[in-house]
Amino acid sequence: MRFPKLPNLGLGDRIPSHQELERMEKEEAGDRPKWDNKTQYMLTCVGFCVGLGNVWRFPYLCQSHGGGAFMIPFLILLVLEGIPLLHLEFAIGQRLRSGSVGVWTAINPYLTGVGIASLLVSFLVGMYYNTIIAWVMWYFFNSFQNPLPWSQCPVNANLTDLVSECTRSSPVDYFWYRDTLNTSTSIGDSGGLQWWMVLCLLCAWLLLYVCCLRGIATTGKAVYVTSTLPYVVLTIFLIRGLTLKGSLDGIKFLFTPDLNELMNPSTWLDAGAQVFYSFSLAFGGLISFSSYNSVHNNCEQDAVIISIINGFTSVYSATVIYSIIGFRATERFDDCLEGNILALLNAFNLAEGSIKEGNYAESLQNLNGTFPETIQSLDLKTCDLQTFLSQGVEGTGLAFIVFTEAITKMPVSPLWSILFFIMLFCLGLSTMFGSIEGTVVPLQDLNIFPKRWPKEAITGIVCLVSFVIALIFAQSSGNYWLALFDSFAGSIPLLVIAFCEMIAVVYIYGIDRFNKDIEFMIGHKPNLFWQVTWRFVSPLIVLVIFVFYFVTKVSSNVTYIAWNPSSEDFPTLEVLEYPAWIYVIIFILAGVPSLVVPGTAIFKLIRRCCSNKNVYGAEVDTVSAKVQMFTTKMS
């Protein structure tokens, strides 16, 4: 029984046949770059997949969606959604030996839009992702001093007192919002470029350029460090963390299962979204990387191994992060309690040591019974360890506020700070390699630049243009712009692209042909699991996530949180609504890449109708050989 597929003429002429692939393999024909060895390929893919999200998004999701119970939806969706999609991208790249634009154009010229959408998303995401790396570098540069600049409030101008913005919030908050970002109070208030941020941004893009200069020839060497160093640092932090007081409380808090959360649909949605984004799917980078492999590389095994590594890294880094968070929460709790005890001792002139942690509650009750007004006037804070633990933040808040605070409380803080930010830097940089690959290779395939221009020049232009546009993020309002990009550029379009990818391979390329290809490449046909997931399960999951995301975003009032020292609830962040003109930007970020998919198809259709040329004119050209069969420049 042949699986239904849409009509697709001329496919055989656009793609290399199995015999040609064998021949190319033996002769090593063509000037396509190749991996030096399998390790480079695996490390590059692991580096691309394992990124900042594993460190600062997964732990938060885990903790907020029922701890250990979150593993269940996460692992289920990893198997049903992550692994099949990963295998699909690897296989199609290895088979058609091209980047994203090349692959989809080869499958059907009307699908070029999918490749272009991948290009746009890689470009937009790369821009803001590298800005985060610039922030990491800023913190890294500032870690080479003792005491760390975010450990204490600075003194104000006339040396009378500490800066009030700092005393009202905290030194780490102040350093992040004021010294680093110099953030304005709203997204509309741009506040000009911050020169130190521009320098860090320049450094980040130059560093990326030096690593991506020659494509995988240079990145292949860089990944030996950037993909392995994070694991070393995580292990060091784990060992250090476990020796600190309170770390086990943190780990227990993280993994304590609350099975009721499984009834909550948002748990499953967040798990699905996390698996999806964590695998860096639909960027085009993975397709590109696997196209440099030899034809008979076992892509099925690779997909499974990388998925397992990715899942394991998420859990491992969550453990490490929460051991340190547990330490911080315990320190905060101890400080809070000490502060209260001191206030009581001072107010009632009791001897030191008469109230300790053990008898605090009892003594407080006694005193409250006899002198309630005094107790009231003291304004004691409620110290609850659980509250401090669930101050689990995610994203930049976790890395630059919570974790940096924890580091200041550890002995030899500069060392831990340097290690931590090197780890974040490596995690981010290895993901950027995939982003750049997903931007540069499609540009080459689309022939935007003249063919004789070397790869160095094209990569340089991409880096330069990205740097110039990313200067938006170096303004005072840069943080808000980055949050905007993060919510819209990297979410909806990727889901659309992934869905189209699966439909394209299963229904337009033909799952039967795809199965035969895989049998040719790795020696056996993909088993029932792959068949079911590719045809029904994975597209359905992606569709469901997309619909929910879309509906939530469209129906809710789009707001953002801002740092405003003059707001009432300071230091709590203020919730503001976006101004009207932001919706144009949101449309550009989310709408344009998504609409490019049907848009390009319509554009090509119109062009074909207007010029009335036979699109499949390849039939005439293919009689003499050595032809345009390996390139996919049609119409």
- Binding site as annotated, residues: 47, 50, 54, 278, 310, 427
Binding residues for Na(+), as ranges, are 47, 50, 54, 278, 310, 427
Calpha distance 287→214 (Å, rounded): 18
Return the closest-CA partner of residue 437 out of 45, 40, 38, 14.
45
Calpha distance 185→579 (Å, rounded): 13
In sequence order, which residues have a C-beta less than 8 Å from that of residue 571 and are 6 or more positions away?
168, 169, 170, 173
Q: Which of 209, 268, 480, 578 binds other proteins (CB under 8 A)?
A: 209
CA distances from 425 to 55, 133, 419, 626 (A): 12, 6, 10, 45
For other proteins, which stretch binds (CB under 8 A), given 55-63, 140-148, 397-405, 482-490? 140-148
CA distances from 571 to 165, 178, 565, 566 (A): 9, 13, 7, 9
Start-to-end Cα distance in the chain: 34
Decide: is 248 part of the binding site for other proteins (CB under 8 A). Answer: no
- Of the two residues 355 and 472, which places its CB atom closer to other proteins in the complex? 355
- Of the two residues 263 and 351, which places its CB atom closer to other proteins in the complex? 351
In sequence order, which residues have a C-beta less than 8 Å from that of residue 129 and are 6 or more positions away?
52, 428, 431, 432, 435
Q: Which of 454, 579, 598, 617 binds other proteins (CB under 8 A)?
A: 454
- Of the two residues 425 and 473, which places its CB atom closer to other proteins in the complex? 425
- Of the two residues 83 and 137, which places its CB atom closer to other proteins in the complex? 137
Identity (one letter) of the amino acid at 559?
T
Beta bridge partners of residue 559, listed in sequence order = 577
Q: Which of 1, 351, 361, 554 binds other proteins (CB under 8 A)?
A: 351
Decide: is 461 part of the binding site for other proteins (CB under 8 A). Answer: no
Task: Show the tokens assigned to 498.
Answer: 């992934």
Decide: is 202 part of the binding site for other proteins (CB under 8 A). Answer: yes
For other proteins, the binding residues in 492-531 under the rule CB under 8 A are none
> At its nearest, how many Å lie between other proteins and the CB of residue 195?
11
- Of the two residues 32 and 525, which places its CB atom closer to other proteins in the complex? 32
- Of the two residues 202 and 304, which places its CB atom closer to other proteins in the complex? 202
For residue 34, the SS3 value is: coil
Q: Is residue 123 packed enough to be buried (19+ CB in 10 Å), middle (13-18) or exposed (0-12)?
A: buried
Q: Which of 27, 28, 31, 352 binds other proteins (CB under 8 A)?
A: 352
Whether the upstream peptide bond of residue 59 has omega within 30° of 0, thus cis, is no
Q: Which of 92, 207, 419, 504 binds other proteins (CB under 8 A)?
A: 207
Give kind and range of the element (H or E) at residue 577.
strand 574-577
Backbone torsions φ then ψ of 339, nearest 5 degrees = -60, -45
Helices (H), 33-78: 38-49, 52-56, 58-64, 71-77
Q: What is the per-residue binding string for other proteins in 156-195, x denoting contact by CB under 8 A?
A: ---xxxx---------------------------------
Backbone torsions φ then ψ of 48, nearest 5 degrees = -65, -45
Decide: is 218 part of the binding site for other proteins (CB under 8 A). Answer: yes
Q: Using alpha carbons only, what angle is made at residue 326 by residues 145 and 138, rounded to the nearest 5 degrees?
A: 30
Decide: is 449 part of the binding site for other proteins (CB under 8 A). Answer: no
For other proteins, the binding residues in 314-343 under the rule CB under 8 A are none
Task: Show the tokens assigned to 212.
Answer: 């991506």
For other proteins, the binding residues in 596-625 under the rule CB under 8 A are 623-625
Q: Mapped to the 3 state alphabet, what secondary structure does 492-526 carry?
A: HHHHHHHHHHHHHHHHHHHHHHHHHHHHHHHCCCC
Q: What is the per-residue binding string for other proteins in 66-105, x denoting contact by CB under 8 A?
A: ----------------------------------------
Decide: is 213 part of the binding site for other proteins (CB under 8 A). Answer: yes
Q: Tokens 């905060």 appear where?
A: 332
Decide: is 346 part of the binding site for other proteins (CB under 8 A). Answer: yes
Give Cα 369 distance to the centre of its chain.
54
In sequence order, which residues have a C-beta less than 8 Å from that of residue 583 and are 6 or more positions away?
none
Calpha distance 65→69 (Å, rounded): 8
Decide: is 420 part of the binding site for other proteins (CB under 8 A). Answer: no
Calpha distance 339→575 (Å, rounded): 31
Q: What is the per-residue binding string for other proteins in 372-401, x denoting contact by CB under 8 A?
A: --x---------------------------
Decide: is 349 part of the binding site for other proteins (CB under 8 A). Answer: yes
Q: Which of 41, 60, 123, 138 binds other proteins (CB under 8 A)?
A: 138
Decide: is 31 part of the binding site for other proteins (CB under 8 A). Answer: no
Q: Which of 141, 231, 549, 550 binds other proteins (CB under 8 A)?
A: 141
For other proteins, the binding residues in 526-585 under the rule CB under 8 A are none
> At its nearest, how many Å lie between other proteins and the CB of residue 345?
6
Decide: is 154 part of the binding site for other proteins (CB under 8 A). Answer: yes
Return the closest-CA partner of residue 93 out of 361, 292, 378.
292
Decide: is 353 part of the binding site for other proteins (CB under 8 A). Answer: yes
Decide: is 345 part of the binding site for other proteins (CB under 8 A). Answer: yes
For other proteins, which stretch binds (CB under 8 A), given 42-50, 213-221, 556-564, 570-578? 213-221
Q: Which of 42, 72, 79, 347 binds other proteins (CB under 8 A)?
A: 347
**Count of residues engaged in binding other proteins, rule: CB under 8 A:** 42
Return the closest-CA partner of residue 359 out of 385, 329, 337, 386.
337
CB 451 within 8 A of CB 108: no
CB 353 within 8 A of CB 342: no
Decide: is 199 part of the binding site for other proteins (CB under 8 A). Answer: yes
Decide: is 459 part of the binding site for other proteins (CB under 8 A). Answer: no
- Which residues make up the interface to other proteins (CB under 8 A)? 137-138, 140-142, 144-145, 154-155, 159-162, 196, 199-200, 202-203, 206-207, 209-210, 213-214, 218, 345-353, 371, 374, 454, 456, 623-626
